[in-house]
Structure 1
Amino acid sequence: MRPVVFSARIGGHGVLSVVDRALLVEEAGFDQVWTGNDIFGEPGLVTLAAIALRTSRIRFGSGVIDPVSLHPAQVAMFASGLQELSGDRFLLGIGAGSDVFFRWGGINPAKPVTRTREAVLAIRELVNGRSPAGVPGVADGWTAQAVLRSWRPTPIYIGAMGPRMLDLTGRIADGALPLCLPPRHVYGVVDQLSAGAAKAGRTIDDLDVAACVWASISDDRRAARHLLAKHIALYSGSLSADALIANGLDPAEFAHTQELMLAGREQEAIASVTDSMLQLGIVGGVDDVIEQCAALIDAGVRHISFGPPVGPDPAAALQLIGRKVLPVLRSHLS
């Protein structure tokens, strides 16, 4: 079996704050760090270049770049450049992007699965020194001259949520970045990825599947619980009722919390988050987080990716995970 990977998904306000946090993640002993590049959001490409220069060991990835606001050829160029700059530590995360954000800029792209498939297949050709022209599944219009001057092979991950995107990821990607809410949702994700992989003559072992979870850790368990409850309250209206039911959760509880949020009663909404609802993430003190992560690993999960909110003090939480959680989990595996 492949070794277990631990990564952190980070954000911040401004390039320097994110780079400083990436350094902290490296020093804490994580294997990978991921940061975003949303259109109208933080300048992720600048941040990734800075991370390449400021870090020395950790692998780092884009979580995620969309191939709409950036043409696939540009994505391939940037990926190859980041590989060269970092000594081949870069991981290219691709996602369909947000149609809401695209509309802000007057952009009307193809459907999410179509644009993702066309881009990933084209980018793979480009970062391996080939033209995408004539490759099955790639959009029309590429010519034989469409070859990068400076190319560098780069692993490609897809940010996937729905069944069709997971199927696509299983068929064509090197890795998957599914948001697993609750963490045990990763088992269903793996089943869907496996089915997609089988269609392409592959197995799930050909992919690095990151169980992207919400995490809140603190020596103060109450503070950790309150922070995750606040995070859940903020997103209570954005969660699929079908997905909640499939994971044994009650959509009515989330609807009640959403009603309180919409009425401006935030503190009541946070207080309404039940222990059952907290199963959406990994939460608690060191022992709690170790127990929850170990259960995932024992069930076959090979990559746990800790994401926002992480903890009441995100920097302290990352250090706590690195100092007290990861060593125990790694010894648990040996």
Structure 2
Amino acid sequence: MVGNSTSAGITWGIELTPEHPPERIATLAALAEDEGFDAAFASSHYFNRDPFVVLSRMADATDELRLGSGVVNPYETHPVKLAAQTATIDEISDGRAVFGVGAGDRSSLSNLGVERDRPLRRVLETFDLARDLWAGETVSHEGTFTAQDAALNLDPPSERIPVYVGAQGPHMLRMSAKHADGVLINAAHPRDLEWAAGQLEQGLADRPDDRDSFEALAFASVSVAGDEDAAREAARPPVAFIVGGAAEPVLERHDIDREAASAVGDALERGELSEAFGRVTPEMIDAFCIAGTTETVADRFAAALEHVDGIVVGSPLGPDLEDAVGRASEALALVTEL
């Protein structure tokens, strides 16, 4: 488990996006550790720096912070390679690795000519295989991918590297509750988190009795600043990617116009990022990001925690990253005092 260090027993995580040099991300991770966060996740997009390289720098800069991919997908990289990369982070961090894995962003994968086929099965097979490899087994697999007599030439120090599945849809949520150690729910709004909690309950009902406890974290896009408008403006890029991959029921839940959402997604698939960000509406920001001042964000955190065990403060954090890390910590502290 990612674990927690707060007095309220709530897990606090942070997502750091490698759109910045690894040295800066490492400095932000150290700041997050000082501010009381439990875990830091390095996001993975082909157009940014490699998350595992960045995680290695984060490991050097921190002492106790759990470190995870947030999240990698088993389409761009073979699952055996993902297992080896995660084991390497576990080794260099003295057992602090978390394996954050999901199906990947459909629009980003389409830019690479990658078809995201059978996503639930592929994610499940990926972390099942990884667990066997981390346990020192030699594995052959024939399913959504192929591996023949694969093994790792290293022994990760963790007895069991925790697996957290990035999920939004009903099937992936239920699968994560049944098989994984935790879930990173791609949602920020209480309405979505309440619905997700219902799906997780169904999966937990089928969870084998010998499994360890399960943790649900809101992997919530957050933008916090001293100025409300500045915080909301900085929220446009991550909201665009969320909208571009949002399923029809999610859009309907928030009364988001389907044509407006499609326009955002189409621009992303064409690689027209500025156009996509510009097409994000205020309603989309309200639905898919916790954006505002420290006090506004604290209120939204409190509402989210009615449905989850903790929050990962996701990208963009805010217009000023260092300031935002501190403000996010302040907002989390306000929640624990409630």
The residue aligned with 2:154 is: 150
Could you tell me how far apart the structure 2 residues matched to 1:138 and 1:104 are? 21
**2:67 equivalent to 1:60:** yes
Can you list the C-alpha shifts for 1:284-323, whole angstroms capped at 9, x where unaligned?
22222222212333x242111111222221221111222x
The correspondence for 2:225, drawn from 205, 218, 228, is: 218
**2:324 equivalent to 1:284:** no
Could you tell me how far apart the structure 2 residues matched to 1:234 and 1:98 are? 8
The residue aligned with 1:240 is: 247
Could you tell me how far apart the structure 2 residues matched to 1:265 and 1:123 are? 39
Secondary structure of the corresponding residue to residue 30 of structure 1: coil
Contact 1:236 1:255 in 2 (8 A): no
**2:335 equivalent to 1:329:** yes
The residue aligned with 1:160 is: 167
Q: How does 1:299-314 map to 2 (within 5 A)?
A: 299-314=306-321
TM-score between both structures, scaled by the size of structure 2:
0.81
Q: Using the TM superposition, give the Cα deviation of residue 6 of structure 1 relative to its aligned residue in structure 2, in angstroms.
A: 0.9
The residue aligned with 1:81 is: 88
Structure 2: which amino acid aligns with 1:4? I
Structure 1: which amino acid aligns with 2:226? D
Structure 1: which amino acid aligns with 2:13? S
Secondary structure of the corresponding residue to residue 73 of structure 2: coil
Could you tell me how far apart the structure 2 residues matched to 1:265 and 1:67 are? 29
Contact 2:242 2:288 in 1 (8 A): no
Could you tell me how far apart the structure 2 residues matched to 1:296 and 1:168 are? 22
**2:124 equivalent to 1:117:** yes
**2:255 equivalent to 1:255:** no
**2:203 equivalent to 1:196:** yes
Contact 2:42 2:51 in 1 (8 A): yes
Can you list the C-alpha shifts for 1:212-266, whole angstroms capped at 9, x where unaligned?
11212122223223433676467655543421223xx22239829959x97x999
Bigger mean CA deviation after superposition, 90-99 or 206-215: 90-99
The 3 A distance-change label for structure 1 pair 43 and 207 is same
The residue aligned with 2:26 is: 19
The residue aligned with 1:91 is: 98
Could you tell me how far apart the structure 2 residues matched to 1:266 and 1:37 are? 19
The residue aligned with 1:228 is: 235
The correspondence for 2:35, drawn from 28, 39, 53, is: 28
Secondary structure of the corresponding residue to residue 116 of structure 1: helix
Secondary structure of the corresponding residue to residue 45 of structure 1: helix
Secondary structure of the corresponding residue to residue 13 of structure 2: strand
Can you list the C-alpha shifts for 1:114-157, whole angstroms capped at 9, x where unaligned?
221211111111112223448x98966544xx443322231111
Contact 2:118 2:144 in 1 (8 A): no
The 3 A distance-change label for structure 1 pair 70 and 317 is same
Larger radius of gyration: 1
Can you list the C-alpha shifts for 1:174-195, whole angstroms capped at 9, x where unaligned?
1111211424312221221221
Structure 2: which amino acid aligns with 1:285? T
Could you tell me how far apart the structure 2 residues matched to 1:140 and 1:225 are? 44
Could you tell me how far apart the structure 2 residues matched to 1:194 and 1:105 are? 35
Contact 2:167 2:173 in 1 (8 A): yes
- List gaps (5 residues or longer) in structure 1: none
Q: How large is the Cα RMSD of the aligned pairs?
A: 3.6
Could you tell me how far apart the structure 2 residues matched to 1:151 and 1:238 are? 37
Contact 1:18 1:47 in 2 (8 A): yes
The residue aligned with 1:294 is: 302
Q: Using the TM superposition, give the Cα deviation of residue 46 of structure 1 relative to its aligned residue in structure 2, in angstroms.
A: 0.8
The correspondence for 1:316, drawn from 305, 317, 323, is: 323
- List gaps (5 residues or longer) in structure 2: 268-273
Could you tell me how far apart the structure 2 residues matched to 1:127 and 1:233 are? 36
Q: How many residues align?
A: 322
TM-score between both structures, scaled by the size of structure 1:
0.81
The residue aligned with 1:179 is: 186
Could you tell me how far apart the structure 2 residues matched to 1:328 and 1:222 are? 22
Can you list the C-alpha shifts for 1:24-62, whole angstroms capped at 9, x where unaligned?
222222111111233453211111111111111211110
Contact 1:183 1:211 in 2 (8 A): no
Secondary structure of the corresponding residue to residue 184 of structure 1: helix
**2:13 equivalent to 1:7:** yes
Can you list the C-alpha shifts for 1:10-34, whole angstroms capped at 9, x where unaligned?
1123322322222222222211111
Could you tell me how far apart the structure 2 residues matched to 1:242 and 1:22 are? 35
